[in-house]
């Protein structure tokens, strides 16, 4: 029988680096984890054990450090584009480069109401991610993302009118605790004159706004699906450089504890004490893209 390797890549995973930019006494830091993956134009390393074309993963790791040193770090998207360009220009037998970046969130400590010059505290609200992929002879494709953004609201959410069949056990709930951990990825159709930092912050704010609503009263969510979709629509409306948005919202359930067995201590009804249940969880996902006109 004949076999064919239809796809392959190799590289260095999760290269950790902290970059310090010093402007006098004021320092700025960026801590990232970077993955690099190369796809070569031959498979002789796999088939014949011939390693003569392999760019060592150690070389890839050191390239990440050296480019960070020589060019600095601005945004993960810009650094991903730089790495793709470098690897394709340096190694003519590399057909494809894939770069992944995760950002560790830091913010300045405030001391006496002033931002500190060189001291920082972690602020892990959401993890910023990025993927840049480029094939030889083609334009790069840039995806940005966020993950681990856990949100919760105690009202203004419902679970009603779902399919009723012999398998369903949960009753309708006109008012419930709604919690999810948002994951989102979006693809840029345009790469020039894009403010990647501002775009990421905009997506985060849109997600929080569509989930929470105004400070007084909030906003009603008839379903996770609807909240997810409205956020995607607003992202595409506000960010014309973005062509596609993928979003995932798993349910993080909080069930009211059954205290009906204790009526003598005033616990016949309970809307104050809940049991967090993270597994199993419902998982809602959708990809929303701009419609292309059909001829």
Does residue 148 surpass a pLDDT of 70?
A: yes
**16 in active site:** no
Three-state secondary structure string covering the chain: CCCCCCCCCEEEEEEEEEEEEEECCEEEEEEEEEEEEEEECCCHHHHCCCCCCCCCHHHHHHHHHHHHHHHCCCCHHHHHHHHHHHHHHHCCCEEEEEEEEEEECEEEEEECCEEEEEEEEECCCCEEEEEEEEECCCCCEEEEEEEEEEEEECCCECECCCCCCCCCCCCCECCCCEEEEEEEEEEECCCCCCCHHHHHHHHHHHHHHHHHCCCCCCCCECCHHHHHHHHHHHHHHHCCCEEEEEEEEEECEEEECCCCCCHHHCCCCCCCCEEEECCCCCEEEEEEECCCCCC
Query: Mind listing the pLDDT tens digit for each residue in 231-252?
Result: 999 999 999 999 999 999 999 9
Catalytic residue of the set 61, 234, 252, 253: 253
Query: Mind listing the pLDDT tens digit for each residue in 89-107?
Result: 999 999 999 999 999 999 9
Catalytic residue of the set 12, 61, 234, 252: 12
Query: Can you tell me the mean pLDDT for 184-208?
Result: 97
Q: What is the pTM of this model?
A: 0.92
Instruction: Out of 84-93, 122-131, 192-201, 284-293, pick the least confident.
Output: 284-293
Catalytic residue of the set 57, 74, 154, 202: 57
**253 in active site:** yes
Domains of the chain: 8-139 (3.10.270.10), 147-295 (3.10.270.10)
């Amino acid at each position: 029988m004949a076999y064919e390797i239809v796809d392959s890549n190799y590289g260095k995973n999760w290269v950790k680096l902290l970059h310090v930019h010093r402007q006098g006494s004021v320092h700025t830091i960026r801590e990232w984890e970077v993955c690099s993956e190369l796809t070569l134009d031959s498979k002789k390393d796999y088939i014949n054990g011939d390693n003569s074309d392999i760019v060592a993963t150690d070389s890839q790791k050191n390239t990440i450090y050296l480019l960070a040193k020589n060019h600095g770090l601005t945004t993960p998207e810009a650094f991903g584009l730089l790495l793709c360009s470098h690897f394709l220009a340096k190694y003519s037998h590399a057909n494809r480069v894939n770069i992944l970046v995760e950002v560790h969130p830091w913010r300045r400590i405030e001391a006496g109401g002033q931002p500190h010059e060189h001291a920082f505290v972690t602020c892990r609200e959401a993890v910023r991610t990025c993927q840049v992929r480029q094939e030889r002879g083609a334009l790069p494709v840039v995806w940005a993302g966020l993950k681990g953004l856990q949100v919760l609201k105690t009202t203004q959410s419902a679970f009603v009118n779902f399919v009723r069949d012999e398998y369903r056990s949960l009753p309708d709930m006109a008012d419930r605790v709604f919690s999810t951990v948002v994951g989102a990825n979006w693809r840029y159709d345009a790469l020039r004159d894009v403010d990647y930092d501002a775009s990421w912050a905009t997506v985060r704010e849109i997600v929080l706004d569509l989930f929470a609503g105004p400070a007084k009263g909030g906003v009603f969510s008839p379903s996770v699906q609807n909240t997810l979709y409205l956020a995607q629509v607003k992202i595409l409306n506000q960010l014309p450089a973005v062509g596609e948005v993928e979003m995932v919202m798993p349910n993080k359930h909080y069930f009211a504890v059954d205290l009906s067995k204790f009526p003598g201590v005033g616990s016949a009804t309970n809307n104050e004490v809940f049991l967090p249940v993270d597994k199993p969880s419902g998982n809602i996902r959708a990809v929303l893209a701009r419609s292309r006109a059909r001829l």
